[in-house]
Amino acid sequence: MSGTRVATSVVLIPLLFIIVWVLPPIYFAGLAVVAAVVGLQEFYGMVKARGLKPLETIGFLLGAVLILEFSRTGMQRLGYDLVLTFSVLAVLCARLFSRRPVEGALEEIAVTLLGVLYVALLFGFQVAIHRGSQGKYWLMFMYLVIWASDTGAYYVGSAFGKHRLYEKISPKKSVEGLAGGVAASVLVAVLCKLWLVKGLGWGPAIALGAVLALVGTVGDLAESLLKRSAGVKDSGALIPGHGGILDRMDSMLFAAPVLYYYLKMR
């Protein structure tokens, strides 16, 4: 793990903690809007590397509106169904009345909407969790569990990794690393049960730790699939030593909806 990567984490993690834990929810919502727009820019950049031309401006606007809807409703019934319906109509109409040639319309509409769904919709679940009951506790729980998974997978995989997990997508990931990541996540989830979310039972804590680690790994692999398809190493270069927003949030994008619906059903 490079010194630049560690130094960046030392600076950004306390800043994120302050925004999530100390400041009013509107600040985290604002951060989420900015992060989603930057993530969309990175996603559309990968799309353009494949020779396609997404409708970036409307994608940015729809992504921001979707995040704000999550902020408005929190853990209540979300109105994102309305926003998503409007998004489909808006993107279709924008392409229909654009000056671009008819050729390529299908691909451009598809990748524009995929960006809104993959980045803004999935990112918005973090905002919804944060606005819910004990939201800052649960959001911090998810961050700590996913960070533990990443750290455990890295160190165990580096030391003992022999069996490739999914070589065609991520040659460096190993089954041993995955096991280390899950074990670290479960340990941190249990510690969080003791000190952070005390109402969580032992069984649910262990299960959530394992499930979020596994789901987060799938999210990591999904972003690797997109990057390999686009022929890029990182989604961006915004965060020194880490790459882009999507490189740092790929696991969270998959983990947040799982945690959100768990909290809705408990």
> pLDDT digits over 136-171, tens only?
999 999 999 999 999 999 999 999 999 999 999 998
- At 14 the pLDDT is 87
The pLDDT of residue 230 is above 80: yes
Residue 194: C-alpha distances to residues 96, 109, 140, 197 (Å): 55, 48, 14, 7
- Overall average pLDDT of the 225-246 stretch: 82
pLDDT band at 11 (very low <50, low <70, confident <90, very high): confident
- At 116 the pLDDT is 96
Q: Record the pTM.
A: 0.91
- Rounded Cα distance, 117 and 124, in Å: 10
- Give the mean pLDDT of the chain: 91
Q: State which residues form the domain around 250.
A: 3-265
Residue range 101-143, pLDDT digits in tens? 999 999 999 999 999 999 999 999 999 999 988 999 999 999 9
Residue range 67-92, pLDDT digits in tens? 998 888 766 666 667 788 889 999 99
pLDDT band at 7 (very low <50, low <70, confident <90, very high): low
Residue range 28-65, pLDDT digits in tens? 999 999 999 999 999 999 999 999 999 999 999 999 99
Residue range 193-229, pLDDT digits in tens? 999 998 899 999 999 999 999 999 999 999 999 999 9
- Rounded Cα distance, 149 and 211, in Å: 11
pLDDT band at 238 (very low <50, low <70, confident <90, very high): confident
Residue range 169-190, pLDDT digits in tens? 998 899 999 999 999 999 999 9
Report whether 1 contacts 154 (CB < 8 A). Answer: yes
The total domain count for the chain is: 1
Q: Could you tell me how many residues make up the chain?
A: 266
Phi then psi for 232, rounded to 5 degrees?
A: -120, 155
Start-to-end C-alpha separation, the chain = 38
